[in-house]
Structure 1
Amino acid sequence: MAVFTTVSQDEIARWLLDYDLGEVRALRGIASGIENSNFFLTMEQDGVTREYVLTIFERLSFAQLPYYLHLMDHLARHGISVPAPVAARDGEILRALKGKPATIVTRLSGASQLAPQASHCAEVGTMLARMHLAGQDYPRQQPNLRSLAWWRQTEPEILPFLDPAQRQLLAGEIAHQTAFFGSADYAALAGGPCHCDLFRDNVLFDTDASGAPKLGGFFDFYFAGNDKWLFDLAVTVNDWCIDLPTGALDVDRAQAMLRAYHAVRPLTATEAAHWQDMLRAGALRFWVSRLWDFFLPREADMLQPHDPTHFERILRQRLDADAPLPWI
């Protein structure tokens, strides 16, 4: 969520004349992330101040965006704590700003938990399973745009920047995932709308009346797509339940998340059999994307590309160590 497209408070005030949100009190760019231009937006109406997030989309098109925005609206209406898109007076939730698609969503309360404990992981696992089930009747369809086809398309672009060992790892894992994705077992896996990017910085934790932490919600759905639910779970475990310096799984946190998820949406024997394949797929997806962002960057205010070697380490860990599911 770096700022690629700058916008002034006066410009946004004029743009917001088509909304019924009151007066602009503050507009502040958000530095984290690398895909879209995001801003915290403070509005005041009838003496009440409310917080929103304004997003200007840099890569996604007007044709692609309704899938994400209406998914967020669908999940919010089904009791999942996610940002809800705000409609203009004409009912539209997606409009042009400085020639690019833009939207406003409600801002969730809370802060990211960057040093999660098993209790945080359990709450994430429970809500992720609830989110998957809530999305079952979402009518729109769009594939995960950062899945196998994109990995294969991106491979020749990033190969010149890799050493021989990295090239071998990349080619070997893409070949493995190509075979896995083409298997009957893969086709049989349950799926539907997935977040596909549920990292620690895309989840907020708040506190309850007693001061204890509670999950505030999931946000940043702009990598979402229809995929296998097991892939979404693997991506989440690969971030929330690891030792960051080495990429090794933290057993206590992984068990807490998986058991909490399994209690809401029990995983099948086929899913259990391919858990390791999906952990590898989740690691590959983000190694490829971080290599691409790191070596082929775009210019942006506050752009902070992530270190691609982090997910190279995770992928190598998943190749070298089994990660049995805790309920088996």
Structure 2
Amino acid sequence: MDFLKTMKDLAKSDIQRIVLPEGEEERNLVAAATIHAEKIAELILLGNEEVIKEKAKKLGISIEGIEIHDPAKSEKTGTYAKEFYELRKAKGVTEEMAAKTLLDPMYYGTLMVKMGDAQGMVSGAVHTTGDLLRPGLQIVKTAPGISVVSSFFVMLIPNKSYGQDGTMLFADCAVNPNPNEDELAAIAISTAETAKNLCRMDPKVAMLSFSTMGSAKHENVTKVQNAVKKANEQRPDLAIEGELQADAALVEKVGKQKAPNSKVAGEANVLVFPDLQAGNIGYKLVQRLAGAEAIGPICQGFAKPINDLSRGCSSEDIVNVVAITAVQAQNTK
């Protein structure tokens, strides 16, 4: 399975409107030209229209036919500001504060998604993850039944020796620094659902630790064990097991030796890390040492798709995340 080709083909099959708040940023403009030309999504760029068009001209690319909104001039800004005021007035936001806030393209873009004027948003080439999460949690909020927003990376293993045809999901590698056992259970469930609904995988979720099935005793191990129990109580239909060491999760021989009764050990295609340090280190090691392609971080748990980018992303990365966001939007109709 060519994961990215599959995402792009799915995106093209049911075109979604995706807003790029960083519309004046050059990588976004190059990506926008590609996305528009390949009909991956219908885009909205946010920013000063003259600046955007002048930059596109200097880059030698065409953005003809792509919608541009300037929050400082848009007729939508007033409507969005009223909606934001209603959402946040109990938190002390005044109408004046709301009007000023909506000049921020991150808030304008998030309100576009909330109001149904866009089906998803992609940001992060310039803004931080926190810049994306704040308006997302204030405006779009979490999906029904989901208690925590988290993230995952799609890891494409070049020799296809692990995961499902070389495709694996790693979570959470970007959002929650030290999830408690309830949050860890929620992350496992969300990532299993993502694997099934977005990636068309049969999820086999390993909740990782430095212990396998009680081989070590420590409060950090107990947290993972309790998270596994809670995830299984909430979703007995999903294959979520642990605690497992990474080798027991990935290598069939080791899995059979260390966890002989497990349906996941040695066959995991979803890895849930116990905290952000482990997750962030883990995906970067696999990316660099195994030559894997790391796509993300992709957010999960929002009521509507809002996705982050690495500030070191390429224009190709933006194209890929927009395609994934469009497929997420198809699944959240």
Same-fold call, TM cutoff 0.5: no
> TM-score, normalised to structure 2's length?
0.30
> TM-score, normalised to structure 1's length?
0.30
Structure of greater relative contact order (alpha carbons < 8 Å, 6+ residues apart): 2
